[in-house]
Structure 1
């Protein structure tokens, strides 16, 4: 007996068609999950760091892979492009000391071109975040993460170069027409530089773009004879972000 004209004959899907359908479903679910995660991420961004969130890929190119930051990290981490440039000066070096590691932006870049990094921060939460972020970049095995005060640890530290990016005092630093070294935290820039000098003359110091350049240049005279020094203005997307000072052998050559 032939089937009725209004009846439907459902043909079984081929294996290839079923796989294709499942793949499409997985892609939709993945995209929906990513969208939800991004919305949650954006909801957790406070008004203070909203504009930094918009620049998140300048801070970490792998931000979407799972980078984590606290509020201070948003406005204190060195943009990745600048951190990579600073690290390139130490390519091949043995040990780099990152005195104020924060959420790990600079330590990660140093670890990609140097043999080993000592990342120090007095805040346990920041060290936890720095370790997590280093895992995202696959360099956690090349970094020793230490919770502690750089000034107390310095006498026992040995390294080929010291990187100094102390807190600038938050976003309000921009309001200063002439940012002086005494505004740095937790100690003034002169004291900080002298402590680093006891470890090595090879120092990289990242400072605000409105730093008092006369004061900055005087740092080289804290050593006898004066250290070689180089001043570099750093830009991201054509906008000035900071000033990097290089001292010692890294002014002229890689370590």
Structure 2
């Protein structure tokens, strides 16, 4: 007699999610209580996020203007005298719960599941480019090689250099530090490189402080986590744009190059030699 009752008790109740648009059904007071933003602010944010998160193609992406590039280069030069820099690049890991498919691919070298996020920022900590789609086991250099920003530099569409750590390959447009500096000039180069490139570390710190969800474990599917990361980056930039004009935006989404060695050495000889 109790069997049907016990079966029903063990069955979880189906929950039907409300698919209605809160902007259409909630009052101004309810919107403020639920989302902490008035209706017009939510509408503006939704519009801005839609524009920023739309996948970029060769038809809707634009090359930065010469003036924008010059401003970014000057901001970087003012840090430690490093010339021709248009961005600092690095990766950071956002922790996620173990996914149900391809789980081993998401385990990073520190042993936890994550999304490996590649970002490029300017001297004012604004994100110029973000790639959030690779599992935690992906190496930073592979992340770069498979990004649109890599192809844009290889085609010569962007005039300037990125600064990256020794985990990246040395290229004409991607300068890395000397692993074992042999001269005083190379040591000065490494010092200026480290001080200038440090902005990307600070950028990640500011981003994660603003959006605490990026500090903990995001317990959603990897695809949704990637969208959340990109949305946080867009909101990070929008907050800065309330105070300043928009920064240079670089369009997104190995082996060392001999000419990269030449360019790095020319900078050492012309800028950092006594």
Q: Provide the TM-score with structure 2 as the length reference.
A: 0.23
Q: Provide the TM-score with structure 1 as the length reference.
A: 0.24
Taking CA–CA contacts closer than 8 Å with sequence separation of 6 or more, which of the two structures ends up with the larger relative contact order?
A: 2
Q: Which has the higher strand share?
A: 1
Q: Which has the higher Rg, Structure 1 or Structure 2?
A: 1
